[in-house]
Amino acid sequence: MPWIDAADEYAKPPRLPKFRPGSMSTAAEVEVFDGWAEIHAVELVGEVLDLADANTVEITDSSLGRCRLVVHPEAQIRVRRSQLESCDLSQVRFNTVSQSRFGGCKLTGTEFEGRLADAELAHCALAMTRFPGTQLSRVLMSDCTLTEADFFEAALSDVAFDDSVLDAVSLDRARFERVDLRQAAQIELLNCRDFSGCLITGLQAQAMALQLAHSLGLGIENDLIDDG
């Protein structure tokens, strides 16, 4: 039977550090040495960071607000113990994101690969965002809009989508463990034949009946009576 008596926290929440921007430097210049750039223990607001010459960018223990990253399409970005608020992160490739928070960020065409762990994405726009083979662990996406996002071969463990819109989200070959969809505002999932490890409500199951049948390849008889 599919019935589950789940606790309120079906998915384990992310473990986030306490951010202390007041203790950070406000230096704005970030230099690139031999293709490597580091943003460490700084608070930046309203900056355009030109990192086009960097192959690897490390962002650690920092706070970025209303910033835009200009990076090479193949550059690898690693974020640890940091918060990014209202930043334009479109077309950026994140290799690793851990113990970090993204709030109100634009993530159009952004790619998360490798590992996304102990992270919160709040009020973010994820249009055509990709998670190819990504390991997502203890991730909360709250009040986000995921439009045509692609989780091809991703592994999702302890992931929740509270108040988020999942619009034409592709889950081809994705794997799930304690993925909580009960608080999602809208759910349209594509290309997935095994939802083992996902949790929805009874009302959601009724609303998704046709969608799930289509995902499983079931033919549905058109037996509606036409009284006209």
Instruction: Give the CATH number for residue 90.
Output: 2.160.20.80
Question: How would residue 23 be classed by pLDDT, with cut points 50, 70 and 90?
Answer: low
The residue to which tokens 């499983």 are assigned: 216
Helix (H) or strand (E) holding 207: helix 202-207
Buried-state track 55-68, b at ≥16 Cβ within 10 A, e below 16? ebbbbbbbbbbebb
Residue 171 is part of which domain span? 30-214
**3-state SS, one letter per residue, for 178-204:** EEECCCCCEEEEECCCCCCCEECCHHH
Q: Which amino acid is at 49?
A: L
Is residue 80 in a domain?
yes
Q: Is residue 157 part of a domain?
A: yes
The confidence score (pLDDT) of residue 1 equals 45
Question: Does 96 score more than 50 pLDDT?
Answer: yes
Total domains in the chain come to: 1
Q: Does residue 4 fall inside a structural domain? A: no
In a domain, 110, yes or no: yes
User: What digits encode the pLDDT tens for the residues 211-225?
Assistant: 777 766 777 777 765
In a domain, 117, yes or no: yes
Between the alpha carbon of residue 105 and those of residues 68, 144, 153, 219, the distances in Å are 10, 10, 25, 40
Q: Classify residue 23: in a domain, yes or no.
A: no
Asked if residue 15 is part of any domain, the answer here is: no
Asked whether residue 13 is assigned to any structural domain, the reply reads no
pLDDT tens profile 133-189: 999 999 999 999 999 999 999 999 999 999 999 999 999 999 999 999 999 999 999
pTM of the model as a whole: 0.87
